[in-house]
């Protein structure tokens, strides 16, 4: 068996399962669709498998788009005006000035914490 055929078979099986699950959810939510789908399943199972594969493919693509959008938003949340950078492009390291500012802020936070602890102990 060719490895491409195996991958294609597995992908089709995944999509059929995904489409069947999506149809099952629809069946459970709508009693009219339940009757329609049950009669269709009884009439032609092979046709239904093809429909499920197509529905699964659509659902898979929608899920991929959703995840890509979520990852893009997460990547751009720190810089709302930024555009998406290619995944192969490494992000630049923090500049020396930024690193120094972070260290200064950390030192200030530590000093404030120490001061608060001293105030708490004196009361």
* Domain ranges for the chain: 3-77
What is d(CA 78, CA 12) in angstroms, rounded to the nearest whole number? Answer: 39
Q: Residue 90, SS3?
A: coil
Would you state the pLDDT for residue 78? 59
What is d(CA 43, CA 22) in angstroms, rounded to the nearest whole number? Answer: 20
Find where tokens 């429909």 sit.
Answer: 51
- 108 CB-contact burial (10 Å; exposed 0-12 / middle 13-18 / buried 19+): exposed
Q: Which residue has the higher pLDDT, 120 or 81?
A: 120
Asked if pLDDT for residue 94 goes beyond 60, the answer is no
Please tell me the pTM assigned to this model: 0.36
């Amino acid at each position: 068996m060719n490895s491409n055929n195996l991958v294609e078979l597995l992908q089709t099986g995944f999509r059929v399962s995904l489409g069947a699950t999506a149809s099952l959810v629809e069946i459970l939510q709508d009693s009219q669709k339940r009757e329609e789908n049950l009669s269709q399943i009884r009439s032609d199972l092979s046709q239904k498998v093809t429909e499920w594969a197509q529905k699964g493919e659509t659902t898979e693509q929608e899920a991929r788009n959703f995840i890509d959008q979520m990852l893009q938003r997460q990547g751009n949340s720190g810089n709302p005006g930024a555009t998406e950078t290619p995944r192969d492009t490494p992000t630049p390291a923090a500049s020396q000035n930024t690193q120094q500012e972070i260290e200064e802020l950390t030192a200030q936070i530590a000093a404030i914490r120490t001061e608060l602890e001293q105030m708490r102990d004196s009361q």
